[in-house]
Amino acid sequence: MGLSAPGKGSATALTGAGQTVLAAAIQFEPQIGDVPENLRRAERLGRQAGEAGARLIVLPEFFSTGMAFAPAIRDEVLRTDGAPFVLLQCLARDYGAIVGGSFLCTDGQARNAFMLVAPDGLLGRHDKDLPTMWEHCFYVGGSDDGLIDAGARYGVAMCWEYMRRPTAQRLRGKVDCIVGGSAWWSVPDHPLRRVTAASRRRNARNAVHSVTTMARLVGAPVVHGALCGPISCALLGTPFGYEGRYEGGAMICDADGRVLARRPATDGDGVVLAEIIVQGRRPSEALPNRYWLHRRGAVAAIGWTQQRRYGQRWRARQDRVRPPSRLEVEA
């Protein structure tokens, strides 16, 4: 089962299997590395969703920090029960809801952990399996199956986990709802934009289609939060800068991959709402016999490999100066 903690809450009465639930997916533009401001934005939109009657609320990936190659993010790896977790718990208690979102935290190793919380405590946790590109600078991957029993069976997937066959394999036919989010950045507007144009278009499509495809492959509805807005940072291991944006957007789709509600990333901060039936069904699409469910394109594939290597080296150098155990800060 997915990772859990003492004091695990019970939410059978809230979202038992087979129930129709008003779900909310949240989207906002983060201030990179500014935890207090990001939590303020997340709380404002989380309360907007709760006041609208949502009883399943999903925040974006990295909702406390955002994500870019910004070394200051390393100093914002918090305790598992720190301020981001406290926010999830407060929203759950105040609105009688199940609330989830991922943030950087440490329990000896820095992780990108999605926490699913009920009014009376933590239901379960999933650590993202593989960091994407410069994410390697800030955390290491996990190995849990991302399954959370909360009366209904929830499965967790984040960002490029939606792109890979192993994610569909671990969730397929086993869950009643998929929850998670993305901080999906664009292929940059390179000076040789004619060369990269096809990769930019493909990456933008994948940010949406990977979510709807996963619903069909697994046989469960998806509630997906997202970050939005511009990204400007150094491009690790190169003399160039990165200028891009978060793509995809917050969305909710049914078990057949039909989009019930979506907020494109270009629309900025907001909440999307839709009723879903929290119940798994027979998957409507066969599982492809390939690791990557969608073509990445040459630019994204090269970036994945190059940034992974540089990111792992960067983190190793930083850990020699200041081990991960010293990164914990008080909430």
251-265 average pLDDT score: 97
List, for residues 181-198, the tens digit of each pLDDT value: 999 999 887 655 666 788
**Domain residue ranges of the chain, discontinuous segments joined by +:** 21-325
Q: What's the alpha-carbon Rg for the chain, to the nearest Å?
A: 18
Q: At what angle do helices 298-321 and 193-218 cross, to 10 degrees?
A: 80
Amino acid at 123: L
What is the distance between the alpha carbons of residues 259 and 251, in angstroms, rounded to a whole number?
7
Please tell me the predicted confidence (pLDDT) of residue 2: 40
Strands 241-245 and 230-234: antiparallel
Reading the block at residue 45, the tokens are: 């939109």
Tell me what percent of the residues of the chain surpass a pLDDT of 70: 90
DSSP code per residue over 71-132: GGGGGG-EETTSHHHHHHHHHHHHHT-EEEEEEEEESSSEEEEEEEEETTEEEEEEE-SS--
Least confident of 59-68, 94-103, 210-219, 308-317: 308-317
Mean pLDDT, the chain, rounded, equals: 90
**CATH for 21-325, options being 1.20.120.1760, 3.60.110.10, 3.40.630.10, 3.30.1490.20:** 3.60.110.10
Tell me what percent of the residues of the chain surpass a pLDDT of 90: 73
Reading the block at residue 284, the tokens are: 């409507």
Look at residue 246 and tell me whether its pLDDT is greater than 80. yes
List, for residues 128-148, the tens digit of each pLDDT value: 999 999 999 999 999 999 999
